[in-house]
Amino acid sequence: MPTPVDVLERRIDELRVAVRQAVLAGDRAQATALRAELRRAEREWDDALDEFADQTPVPPLLPIRDQVHNALTLLGVPAAPKLLIAVHEAFFAGEIVGARLTSLRRDEERSFRAAPRQRPYYLCSALTADLLAPARGLLAVSTWPLDRRIVGPLSARVDFLTAAIRIAEQAERHPGAERLLRRFAVNIPGATDSSFADVKPEVVVRAARAELAVHEGADRSHREAAAERARTQLDDAAQLFGSRELQRT
Amino acid sequence: MTSPERLRGAAAPKSHNARTIAALTTNPGCSRRAVMDAAGIDKERLAAYVGFPARFGQSQFAITRGNVFEAQLKADGCAELLRLLREVLGLPIPQVSYDDLESVDQLDARADRSRELLTRAAGGESGTLFDHPLLRLEVGGRWVYLEPDLIALQFGGTFYVVEIKSFAVIDGQADGTKVSAAATQAAVYVLALRRLLAEAGHDPGLVSHEVVLVCPENFSNRPVATLVDVRKKLSVLERQLARMARIDPILESLSPDLTFDLRPDSSGVPQRPVAELVDGLGQIDARYSPECLANCELAFFCRHEARGTTASLGKSVREELGGVPSVDLALSLASGAVAPADDQEEAAAMLRFAAQLRSECLS
Amino acid sequence: MSALTALARVSAVSSGVAQRIATVRHVHLSDRPLVFIPLALAGEANAPLAALVGSSFDSPQLLVVLQPRNRDERFAFAARLAAVFLSYVDSFRGETETVPAGRNTDPRERYVDAPQILVPNGGGVGFVRLLGRSTRFRRTEGEYAVEPSVPLLGRWLTFFAERAEYPGSSLLLNMTGALGMHWATGQSAVEDANLAALVGWIDPPDGMTGADAALEAEDPLTWPPAGPATDPTFDNEILAPAIEAGSLSRLESALRRQLEPTWELMWRGVSLLRNLPPGARVERRWAEDRDAFTGYASYVDEGGYPQARRDGAVAAAQRLARLERAQVLYDAQRAYDDPLILAEYRLTGEAFAGTVTASAPDRIDDSGKRRVLRPRVTVSSSDPVRFEPGVSVVSPARPSQTGRVVSVSPLPSGFEVVLELSGGMGRGLTAPPGSVPEVGERLTYTTLTESYQAPAAFPAREETPWTHGGPPVEYVPDDDDAVEEWS
C-alpha cells in the first residue's frame, strides 16, 4: 500500500506537469493557482517527512552577529555579505550561514529602536553620502566613526583598497587567506606579477597604498562633509540605520 | 481612423524594455506588429487568449547565472569591472568614482537623478561609473524606461555603455546571434543616452558608438571585455522608431470601432469573444516569416493565418518560386493547370520545368 | 535552397507528407552507430546536465550530473562518457586493409571500418566541440588532476567535431541535417530544426498529416526538445526542484523522460536513412573518413599534442582552402550519384539532358601534328541549353570522358548540341565498343567536375608572412590550459 508520502510525491509530480501546461498555454492565473497548490503539497510532504526525522540544528560556535563583527573589524570598512562570508572563512573558525545574514540588519535596527544603546555594538548600515540613505547591501559597525560609514562616489574604491591592505597584513599568519588576497590583488595595478602566479602580501600592500594615495584626500572630504550633515540632520537611529526621508524629496 | 488608446482599450499600456525595442527592428515591414507595439497592447496575453500562446520562457538557471555574473563584476566597488575598463578604455587611475543609481526607489526619482548625474558629468564635473542609471526613450509616442547595466565615462568626456552578458566567449569567439542581440540592446541605450544629453544641450556625440561588452571567458567566471561597434544597429533602430511614430496612415485604414480590449471581468478574466479579436487581428496586415517565431509574441497566430503561403515556408522558398505568393498557385502554375498572369510568365516556365524534372527523376 | 527543393516544399504542403529531394542516400550509415544525445544546463558555457548514449536501440546508457555547477561532477561525467565513448572508438581499431600507393601518396594501412557518432542537431555537434575543448587540455596528475580518459575523450571529441565541418564526412552526423538533405517538408527550415517535427513530416503516424504531426511535436510536454537546450518550463518546474532536493533517482527519472522520446526519434531517423539506397560515391567518401580516423588514432598513439586552441594564419588558410575544395568535389559527387541533384543544375543551366541523335565514333582529328581519335555526337535536348561553344562538359555515365561543345543550335522545341569527345576510349585510333555514346542513348552533360584539383600553394608554416603574425610558435599546451577553470 502506498504511504502518505508516496501519494504526496505523486501528487507533486502531477502538479508540476500541470503548472508547465498552464505556463505553456500562457494561462497565468491558472499557473499561479496551481503553484499555490503545489507549495501546499510540498509543505505537507515536508511535514510528513519531519515525522520520520528528528531534527536538531547544530548551533554555530559563535552567534552570527559576533561572527560578522569579527569579519568587519578585520576589514575596518563597510562590506557586503558575500565579502564578509569569504573573510570569515579565510580567517576564522566556523562558517557564516549566508541565509541568516539577510535579516540581521533589520533585527539589529529593531533591537536598537526598542532599547537604544543597550549593547556594546550594533551591526548597522553604511550611509550614502548624497541622501544619507542606507547603502544597498553594505554592513558596518556602530562604534566606528560616522565618516567611516559614509559611502561617497570614491568610497567603494577606497574601501576596496583599504580592505586589501588589511587582508594582506593579516595574510602572513593565515595561509588560508591566500585565495582571498589573490582575488583582491588581480584587480589592483601592480599588485601581482604579470603571470598572476605569485601574490606577495607586501607587494599588495605597497600597490594598494599607491592607488589609495590618489583617491584618499577627495574621498575624505566628501565623507567628512556628509558625516557633518548626518550629525545635524539625523536622529540617533537614522545615523546608524540611514534616513529614508530625504530620498522622496 | 482609430487611435492607439482605442485599440488598446482599458488595459494599461504594455511597457517596453531594451529587448522588446531591439525586437522591433527584426521585422520592420509588419504593420500588425507596428500597430500593436505603438498602442502598447499586451501581445503575449492577447496571443494566449486567442489560443496561440508564445513560447518565450526563460530558464531560471539562465537568469540566475546572469545575475550572479553581474553581481560578481560589480562586487567590491566594481573591482573587476574597473580593471577591465582600465584595460579596454584606458581609464586613468584617478577615475574610480561610482554612483549607484539603483538605490533610489521610485522610477521617476531615479530617472531624474540619473539625468542630473549624467548631464553634470557631461559638463565636465565628476563621475565615472554609473550603475543602473534609468534612461527614457520615446517609443510610439510613449516614454519607456530603460536600464543599462552600467555607463562609464572615459577621461576626456566620452560615455560608454557597458553591457554585461553571461554567454561565454570561447577562444575569442562567441555565439554570433547572441552578440548581435546584445549589440542591438546596447544600441537602444546609446540612443536613449544620446537623446538625454541632447535635450540637456550637450553634444550627443559624447556617447560612443562603441559599447563595452563584458562576458565570461572560456568555461570560467573570469570576465573579458570587448568593444563592439553598434553604428549599423543605431541607424536601423532610429529608422524603426521614426516609423513607429508615423503609424497614422495604418490607423487611418482601420475601422473606428476596432479594439483589442479583452474586457476582463472584475476578477481579471477576459470576457471578450475570441472570434471578435481574431477578426480584429485580421484587419491589420501582418508580414509573417518563420523568423518571427523567435521574436514576436503573436508569431504562432500569424503562422496559423499564413498557412498556404510560400512566405510561411521561408523567405528563400518564396524567392526560389519566383515570388509566387501561395502554395496552391505555385503548384497550379507548375502543373500547367492555371495560365500565368503576364508578370508570372518567367516564374511559371521555371516551375513547369522544375516539376518536369522532379517527375522525370522520381518516376 | 534551390527551386527544386522549394517546389518539393510546396508539394509537401499539399500532399501532407515530406517529399524526397534525393533519390539515393548521400551519407554513410554505420551498422553500429553511436547515438549521443547530450543535454546542457541553461545559462552556462556547455555545462553537461545529462546524456543518453549507446550503439544499440535497446541499450541506451543514461549519464546524469547531480549538481551541474560542480566542477568535479562535470569531470566525473566526462569520465563516465569517456568509458562508453572510447571503448566504442577502440572497437573499430581491429582489422586493417592496405591502400596501394597513389599519385602523391605512399602505400598505407587503413582500418576497414570507423566509428560514427550521431547527434540530434547542429547544437549537438556544438556540444561535442565544446566538451572536447573543455576536456582535451586537462592534466592527469598534480593539482586539478582528472581521470586519464578525460583528456583523451577531449581529443577524440575535437577530432569528430572538426571532421563534421568537412563536406561529405560522415564520422559525426547530425540527424536533422542528414534527414533534411534527403527530404523537404511542408514547413520552414527554422521549424525543421525540431527533430520531432521533421520526423513527423517524413513519417507521420497513421491517420495524421505531416502538418498535424509537426504541430504536435511542438508541445514540449509530449516531445521534449532534442537538446542540448532544455525546455524552460522543464527547468523551472521539474529540474530546479529535483536538483535542489539532491535526489539522484528523481533527477534520473526526470531526465530520462526528457531524453527517451529523442532516443526513439534518432533510431527512427536511422532506419529512414537506411531505407534509402546509398549513392555510388558514398563508399569512396567513407574510405576518406576511415583514412582520417586511422591517421588520428596513430597520431594519438604516438603521443601527439592535443589540437591547438586556435589555428595559426597559414594553417587556418590551408584549412579553409581544403574545405572549399572538398565542398566543390562533394557537390559534384552528389550530382553524379543522383539525377535529382543533377536536375538542380539542369534547372540553372549548368547541365542538360538529351538523346543522342547522331554519333561519329571513328572521327579522327588530323589537323594537328598527330592524328587523334575525336568522335563527335549530336545530342538533342528539350532543356534550355545555355552553353557556349568551347565549354567542356562531362556526363556522369562516362566520368573519364570530356566533351567539348562544338555548336549549339535551336530546334523547334529545345536545342541540338554537337560535342567532340576525348578521353575514356583507350589509346588507339578506334573507340572500343560502348565507349562512345550510341544513337538513342539518353545522357546528361554538366560542367561539374570531380577531377583532381591541385591544392593552392601556401607558404610553409615557418615562412608565415609578418602581415599574418609571422611564423607561429609551436603549439605546446601549458599549465594555463590544464588548470583552466570550468565553473
The SS3 assignment for B305 reads helix
pLDDT digits (tens, 9 = 90+) for B56-66: 888 999 999 99
Local confidence band at B15 (pLDDT 50, 70, 90 cut-offs): confident
In the complex, which subunits touch A with 3 or more CB pairs below 8 angstroms? Answer: B, C
Determine the pLDDT at residue B62.
93
Hey, what amino acid is at B126? S
Chain A nearest CA to C70, separation (Å): 19
Determine the pLDDT at residue C486.
55
Determine the pLDDT at residue B28.
78
Q: How many angstroms separate the CA atoms of A127 and C207, rounded?
A: 71
Does the distance separating the beta carbons of C484 and B313 come in below 8 Å? no
Burial class (CB in 10 A: 0-12, 13-18, 19+), C426: exposed
A127 contacts A149 by C-beta, under 8 angstroms: yes
The full DSSP string for C271-328 is HHHHTSPBPTTHHHHHHHHHHHHHHHHHHHHTTPPPPPSS--HHHHHHHHHHHHHHHH
Residue written as cell 534616513?
A: A243
Does the distance separating the beta carbons of C233 and A20 come in below 8 Å? yes
Local confidence band at A249 (pLDDT 50, 70, 90 cut-offs): very low
In this structure, the dihedral spanned by the alpha carbons of residues C5, C9, C11 and C16, taken in order and rounded to 10 degrees, is 140
Chain A nearest CA to B49, separation (Å): 8
**Which of A116-122's residues contact partners 24+ apart within 8 Å by CB, and which partners?**
A116/A236, A116/A237, A117/A236, A121/A69, A122/A240
CB contacts of C13 in chain B (<8 Å) are: 308, 313, 327
pLDDT digits (tens, 9 = 90+) for B89-131: 988 898 898 988 887 777 788 888 889 888 888 887 778 889 9
Does the distance separating the beta carbons of B102 and A29 come in below 8 Å? no
Determine the pLDDT at residue A56.
53
Burial class (CB in 10 A: 0-12, 13-18, 19+), C389: exposed
Please give the C-alpha separations between residue C12 and each of B224, B320, C148, in angstroms, as whole numbers: 48, 16, 51
Does the distance separating the beta carbons of A24 and C237 come in below 8 Å? no
Q: Does residue A248 carry a pLDDT above 80? A: no
Does the distance separating the beta carbons of A21 and C237 come in below 8 Å? no
Please give the C-alpha separations between residue C246 and each of A9, C239, C242, C464, in angstroms, as whole numbers: 15, 11, 6, 54
Does the distance separating the beta carbons of C10 and B313 come in below 8 Å? yes
Q: Which residue of C has its CA nearest to A12?
A: C238
Q: Does residue A246 carry a pLDDT above 60? A: no
Smallest Cβ–Cβ distance between B59 and the set C43, C134, C339 belongs to C43
Blockwise average pLDDT, block size 10, chain C, 487 residues:
92 96 97 97 92 96 91 92 96 93 85 97 96 90 84 96 95 98 96 97 96 94 94 93 87 95 97 96 95 94 84 82 90 94 92 94 88 93 91 92 94 92 87 91 91 64 61 56 56
Determine the pLDDT at residue C402.
93
Local confidence band at B240 (pLDDT 50, 70, 90 cut-offs): confident
Chain A nearest CA to B112, separation (Å): 12
Does the distance separating the beta carbons of A21 and C221 come in below 8 Å? yes
* Sequence spans of domains, chain A: 4-50, 64-248
Please give the C-alpha separations between residue C121 and each of A140, B22, C38, C124, in angstroms, as whole numbers: 53, 28, 10, 5
Joined grid coordinates for residue C263: 532516443
CB contacts of A29 in chain B (<8 Å) are: 268-269
In degrees, rounded to 5, the angle at the alpha carbon of residue C478 between the alpha carbons of residues C475 and C483 is 140
CB contacts of C221 in chain A (<8 Å) are: 17, 20-21, 24
Report the share of chain A in percent with pLDDT over 70: 90
**Residues in chain C whose beta carbon is closer than 8 A to a beta carbon of chain A?**
219-221, 233-234, 236-238, 241
Q: Looking only at Cα atoms, what is the longest distance across chain C?
A: 89
Chain C nearest CA to B97, separation (Å): 31
Q: Does B107 touch chain A (CB under 8 A)?
A: no
Determine the pLDDT at residue A52.
63
Determine the pLDDT at residue B241.
84
Q: How many angstroms separate the CA atoms of B92 and C50, rounded?
A: 47
Helix, strand, coil distribution of chain B in percent, nearest 5:
50, 15, 35
Q: Please count the other Cβ atoms lying within 10 Å of the Cβ belonging to residue C72.
A: 11
Q: Which residue of B has its CA nearest to A164?
A: B76
CB contacts of C236 in chain A (<8 Å) are: 23
A194 contacts B137 by C-beta, under 8 angstroms: no
Residues 6+ apart with CB under 8 A from C75: C135, C138, C146, C147, C150, C486
Q: How many angstroms separate the CA atoms of A176 and C226, rounded?
A: 45
A190-194, A201-205, B31-35: least confidently modelled range: A190-194
Mean pLDDT of B44-59: 90
CB contacts of B126 in chain A (<8 Å) are: 153
CB contacts of C384 in chain B (<8 Å) are: 353
Q: Which residue of A has its CA nearest to C240?
A: A16
Hey, what amino acid is at A8? L
More confident call, C480 vs B72: B72
More confident call, A96 vs A187: A187
Closest to A159 in 3D by CA, of A104, A242, A109, A223: A223
DSSP annotation of C432 reads: P
Q: How many angstroms separate the CA atoms of B28 and B135, rounded?
A: 24
CB contacts of C189 in chain B (<8 Å) are: 290, 314, 316
Determine the pLDDT at residue A226.
93
Q: Does residue A197 carry a pLDDT above 90? A: no
Determine the pLDDT at residue A53.
60
B234 contacts B191 by C-beta, under 8 angstroms: yes
Q: β-strands C117-119, C34-40: how paired?
A: parallel
The SS3 assignment for A142 reads coil
Chain B nearest CA to A45, separation (Å): 24
The SS3 assignment for B185 reads helix
> What is the dihedral sign for C-alpha B304, B306, B312, B315?
negative
Burial class (CB in 10 A: 0-12, 13-18, 19+), C476: exposed
CB contacts of A28 in chain C (<8 Å) are: none
Q: β-strands B210-216, B159-164: how paired?
A: parallel
Q: What is the mean pLDDT of chain B?
A: 89
Closest to C376 in 3D by CA, of C389, C391, C395, C360: C360
Determine the pLDDT at residue B79.
92
pLDDT digits (tens, 9 = 90+) for B126-182: 788 899 888 988 887 778 888 888 888 877 789 999 999 999 999 888 989 899 999
Smallest Cβ–Cβ distance between A133 and the set B47, B103, B126 belongs to B103
CB contacts of A17 in chain C (<8 Å) are: 221, 237-238
Smallest Cβ–Cβ distance between A24 and the set C220, C238, C241 belongs to C220
B229 contacts B210 by C-beta, under 8 angstroms: yes
Closest to C287 in 3D by CA, of C82, C133, C105: C105
Q: Which residue of B has its CA nearest to C40?
A: B61
* Sequence spans of domains, chain B: 1-289, 311-362
In the complex, which subunits touch C with 3 or more CB pairs below 8 angstroms? Answer: A, B
Which domains, ranges and CATH numbers included, belong to chain C? Answer: 3-310 (no CATH), 350-446 (2.40.30)
Joined grid coordinates for residue A104: 540581521
Closest to B47 in 3D by CA, of B337, B341, B332, B299: B299
Local confidence band at A27 (pLDDT 50, 70, 90 cut-offs): confident
